[in-house]
Structure 1
Amino acid sequence: MTQSEIWRLSATDLTALTHKGDLSAENAAQAAINRMEQVNPDLNAVVENLSDEALRRARALDQARAKGETPGPLHGVPVTIKVNVDQKGHATTNGVVALKDVIAPEDAPVVSNLQNAGAIVIGRTNTPEFSFRADTDNPLYGRTYNPWGRHISPGGSSGGAGAAVMAGIGALAHGNDIGGSLRFPAAANGAVTVKPGLGRVPAWNPSQKTERGLLAQSMSVQGLITRSAADLHLSMPSLIAGDPRDPFHVPMPWRNEVLDGPIKVAFTKNTFGYALHPEVEKALDTARDALIDAGYLVEEMEPPDVFECGRIGYRTLMGEVLTLMKSDIEAAGSQTIQDIFDVYFQEFPPIVETEMIRMLAKRSHYAREWSLFLQDYPLVLSPFLPRPFFKPDRDTEGAEGVHEVLGCAVYAYAMNFLGLPAACVPARLAELPSGPQPINVQIAARRWREDLAVDAAAAIEARVGQMYIPLWERMGTGN
């Protein structure tokens, strides 16, 4: 098998070969590194190349296997890590110039879990300043570009991760999500992801000096962006392994009980007054039909309080940001990010003081209403965004830009406030005047049932096809 054939492999196909001994970890890593060196100069998705370190680790894995050690479930899989998470010996910059020398003393749990499973980190990926944009650009590393073309933002804040994995730079890409930061890049690049629920994946940065705010802790989760739903089923069981450094981690298995009868799916096209673009509507119809073909029982049904829950949740988060982060943003952020935050505070008037305490309490009301609804409808199929993905720097264009980027994305941050899992999967490739772009939909699920959301994503993917195939045809696959 040639190097150009190896980097194309999914994590699932790659591990089938490494476990049988038909492919070495070193060859798997080298192929991904070659691909990274070929395409990353145009994308700027990976901002720290870890090739030497990766190859040393790959050789060590091969030597251990030769001595009879059992390979891990992700043996030899090349992965990338986002620069806002600690990796021992490397800077946790969070896209901020002032943090460029903050060297991690130890690995974060997600890094440990991936490496304990046999994965090989080949590079660290870009994020916007403070990981608080749905686009990816910063003064430290510069702009990340979408492999579909420069007419589309790569998304954020895990924009480097989404662009990297869809361009073939590693089979798995780590990212995180406080209001959509796994799902925005998946939607922008045509990738597949699942935002895990609260407590599902252990999280902590050993380099941090203070604990994060309560909402940051409860809304932010760690996850993976992949090219296929099958790769989520392969990799997420390793990612959710427990770590005592996260005292609120919930040790639940990846797969839970099989549900009786056809699974009921609540299907909605409601965009709360924001115009539903025809291409998004076509994607939703395709996703619905795919689930029906796969044996799901899909019914048009409105889930409770999405708009109110999402807006209240993000306004409360902005209250916490205003209280705990504003001074850091003013001290270390560029003028661009400061201006964006000024507009964030206009779009989402921060809820503070006594009203913040009330809204934190009301979060349980929203979660309870959803819990009851999901007893009858374990899955909810909805838009992710009401229109195709936006252009780069749209959020720098004042109130109108921020409104298009984040204001209408209530299905995104509502799931973070509720702490529920939500998958994001492409359901259509749209040919727009600006150029081609994928259209993703969202599938929310019961608490602890990320597996159900990924199963549904796989059913949609089976009908639509995997979006990396037409992307690589447009890019030219190279060698």
Structure 2
Amino acid sequence: MGEITRLTAAELASRLSSGEVSSVEAVQAHLDQIERAEPLVNSFITVTADDALATARQIDERRARGEELHPLAGVPVAVKDLIVTKGTRTTAGSKMLQEWVPPYDATVTAKVREAGLPILGKTNMDEFAMGSTTEHSAFGRTYNPWHTGRVPGGSSGGSAAAVAAWEAPLAIGTDTGGSIRQPAALTGTVGVKPTYGSVSRYGVIAMASSLDQVGPMTRTVADAAALHELLAGHDAQDSTSLPQAVPGFRAAAANRDVKGLKVGVLAQSYGAGVSAGVRGSFQAALDLLAEAGAEIVELQLPALDYALDAYYLIMPSEVSSNLARFDGMRYGLRAEPQDGPVTAERVMAETRRQGFGWEAKRRIILGTYALSAGYYDAYYGSAQKVRTLVKRDFARAFEQVDVLASPTAPTTAFGFGQDAEDPMTMYLNDVFTIPANLAGLPGLSLPSGIAGDGLPVGFQLLAPELADERLYSAGGALEALLEERRGGRFADQLTEIGMAGSAADSTGGI
């Protein structure tokens, strides 16, 4: 049964279709792996074993009757706990919603159910998606399967760790400033942030509405393409949903030819904050592309130097607005003061004091300040102007190249507690991912290699708006080149290397 968890989603789907493996067997194998791995990684807040097995039995019965099924039917998936699931608690990683059971499904959840993918459970995350380490969860931190003394990234660290630790072949995350791509880089997995508005946000608890985007997290580019196809599409319930039809991402991911592909390299990729191991792995991947016939062009995008500053004004401002609904009056946590009168104001204050973690409080306060009278134009208004400059720089860049490349994160996975000592360390880890969110562009991270510290390095590709298929075409080709060079799939190296220096060493690893 352990072999089943090592299969890609595409391989598992093929075996399910041929009858070699049943969906019940596939789900049970992953549930068994969750039981083994969870004490080490803590990827899940809630495991929905009974529901997953019930869905699996239904799919097996329908397949036995000869019904036409979705290509991924029966392949299990993990869902970030920011995404609403009817009948299963959705916490957003916060005490505010620790017992909330939604009465409806998010659109992406409904699509997954309709396609027949058993949902294994809800994955851990930074509270309300605020963080880059998955330390800021009311349900405990998630650990990196490559080294449990290191962070898995965030805020979708639970989804990334679940995929890396063989607990799920597919997972769904959300990306506000890199929260899919950065944890994918730190855990040696593949993560994609689609074009803003191309995947519905209906039923996804909002952090920063103009930046949030749902996307796939997998172990291969082809698997990401397949899950992305399932999730994408117009949704009338989402006012930001785009009307464009979903192109064939799976076909694009099968590309193996990069001859003539123009790859723009951001000058910031070689900045002072980029570690030697990341820089070396990134350059080696670029060299592979060049040897295969791609044209490498170095580009200067001046506005990107200000993107981080703009993001950390726009994002907390939208956080302040979105989280104002958690007031102890309508749903979620309600805490009353221990003494004195019970007034609406005092209940609201006590609820927020108990319900929000310190990182959420910090961002709410920062955003409220930026939106306050006398500061709105100076801070929030100016940040939106920088956002426009970032979009213009990207537009000019894509007149010259097909895709842009950079490291996904400037370093490999770092230790726990660093962001508490210096929050800027955490914020700066998103320096390469944030610009795509400001501009609404699609981005993909895939593992390019292992640095000298034995940890994975992520390679990021960006494409123009609604040109997500370019990511899969270039990403699929680069992944194939990297696999040929190393002689196998990247994910398999976790099994070979084990989790050096981690708590798993004495238990045989994951």
Question: Would you say the 8 A contact 1:80–1:121 is kept in 2?
Answer: yes
CA distance in 1, matches of 2:367, 2:318: 15
Q: How does 1:39-188 map to 2 (within 5 A)?
A: 39-138=37-136, 140-188=138-186
Report the TM-score when normalising by structure 1: 0.89
Partner of 1:315: 313
Question: Would you say the 8 A contact 1:150–1:392 is kept in 2?
Answer: no
CA RMSD of aligned residues (A): 3.0
Task: Give the superposition deviation at 1:391.
Answer: 1.3
The yes-or-no answer on 1:450 pairing with 2:474 is no
Q: How does 1:291-310 map to 2 (within 5 A)?
A: 291-310=289-308
Q: Deviations over 1:160-210 (max 9, x none)?
A: 10100011111101100111110121011111111111111111118x6xx
CA distance in 1, matches of 2:105, 2:317: 30
Partner of 1:360: 384
Question: Would you say the 8 A contact 1:154–1:392 is kept in 2?
Answer: no
CA distance in 1, matches of 2:409, 2:369: 21
The correspondence for 1:217, drawn from 209, 217, 233, is 209
Partner of 1:459: 477
- Name the SS for the 1:153 alignment partner: coil
Question: Would you say the 8 A contact 2:320–2:364 is kept in 1?
Answer: no
The correspondence for 2:358, drawn from 338, 353, 360, is 338
Question: Would you say the 8 A contact 2:55–2:116 is kept in 1?
Answer: no
CA distance in 2, matches of 1:293, 1:42: 41
Task: Give the superposition deviation at 1:347.
Answer: 12
The correspondence for 1:415, drawn from 422, 436, 444, is 436
CA 1:194–1:349 in structure 2 vs 1: closer, same or farther (change >3 Å)? farther
The yes-or-no answer on 1:231 pairing with 2:252 is no
The correspondence for 1:14, drawn from 9, 12, 18, is 12
CA 1:73–1:53 in structure 2 vs 1: closer, same or farther (change >3 Å)? same
Identify unmatched segments of 5+ residues in structure 1.
Answer: none
CA distance in 1, matches of 2:303, 2:137: 39
Question: Would you say the 8 A contact 2:144–2:161 is kept in 1?
Answer: yes
CA distance in 2, matches of 1:478, 1:77: 24
Question: Would you say the 8 A contact 1:262–1:297 is kept in 2?
Answer: yes
Report the TM-score when normalising by structure 2: 0.83
CA distance in 2, matches of 1:187, 1:445: 18
- Name the SS for the 1:150 alignment partner: coil
CA distance in 2, matches of 1:415, 1:359: 15
Partner of 1:392: 416
Question: Would you say the 8 A contact 1:265–1:377 is kept in 2?
Answer: yes
Question: Would you say the 8 A contact 2:317–2:368 is kept in 1?
Answer: no
The correspondence for 1:252, drawn from 212, 236, 245, is 245
Sequence identity of aligned pairs in percent? 29
Partner of 2:403: 379
CA 1:110–1:18 in structure 2 vs 1: closer, same or farther (change >3 Å)? same
CA distance in 2, matches of 1:219, 1:477: 41
Question: Would you say the 8 A contact 1:80–1:124 is kept in 2?
Answer: yes
Question: Would you say the 8 A contact 2:233–2:245 is kept in 1?
Answer: no
- Name the SS for the 1:223 alignment partner: strand
Question: Would you say the 8 A contact 1:153–1:393 is kept in 2?
Answer: no
After TM superposition, the structure 1 stretch with the greater mean CA deviation from structure 2, 417-426 or 359-368, is 359-368
Question: Would you say the 8 A contact 1:317–1:350 is kept in 2?
Answer: no
- Name the SS for the 2:73 alignment partner: coil
Partner of 2:332: none
Partner of 1:468: 491
CA 1:66–1:323 in structure 2 vs 1: closer, same or farther (change >3 Å)? closer
Task: Give the superposition deviation at 1:150.
Answer: 2.2
Task: Give the superposition deviation at 1:334.
Answer: 6.4
CA 1:464–1:337 in structure 2 vs 1: closer, same or farther (change >3 Å)? farther
CA 1:339–1:359 in structure 2 vs 1: closer, same or farther (change >3 Å)? closer
Q: Deviations over 1:102-124 (max 9, x none)?
A: 21111111111222222111111
Task: Give the superposition deviation at 1:265.
Answer: 0.7
CA distance in 1, matches of 2:476, 2:361: 37
Identify unmatched segments of 5+ residues in structure 2.
Answer: 328-348, 484-488, 500-506
Partner of 1:370: 394
- Name the SS for the 2:451 alignment partner: strand
- Name the SS for the 1:410 alignment partner: coil
The correspondence for 1:193, drawn from 191, 194, 214, is 191
CA 1:54–1:34 in structure 2 vs 1: closer, same or farther (change >3 Å)? same
CA 1:260–1:36 in structure 2 vs 1: closer, same or farther (change >3 Å)? closer
Task: Give the superposition deviation at 1:410.
Answer: 2.1
Question: Would you say the 8 A contact 1:134–1:157 is kept in 2?
Answer: yes
Question: Would you say the 8 A contact 2:72–2:117 is kept in 1?
Answer: yes
CA distance in 1, matches of 2:354, 2:475: 38
Task: Give the superposition deviation at 1:309.
Answer: 3.0
After TM superposition, the structure 1 stretch with the greater mean CA deviation from structure 2, 157-166 or 313-322, is 313-322
Task: Give the superposition deviation at 1:276.
Answer: 2.5
CA 1:459–1:402 in structure 2 vs 1: closer, same or farther (change >3 Å)? farther
Task: Give the superposition deviation at 1:463.
Answer: 3.2
How many residue pairs match? The answer is: 465
CA distance in 1, matches of 2:369, 2:284: 36
CA 1:241–1:86 in structure 2 vs 1: closer, same or farther (change >3 Å)? same
The yes-or-no answer on 1:425 pairing with 2:446 is yes
CA 1:204–1:243 in structure 2 vs 1: closer, same or farther (change >3 Å)? same
Partner of 1:403: 424
CA 1:273–1:4 in structure 2 vs 1: closer, same or farther (change >3 Å)? closer
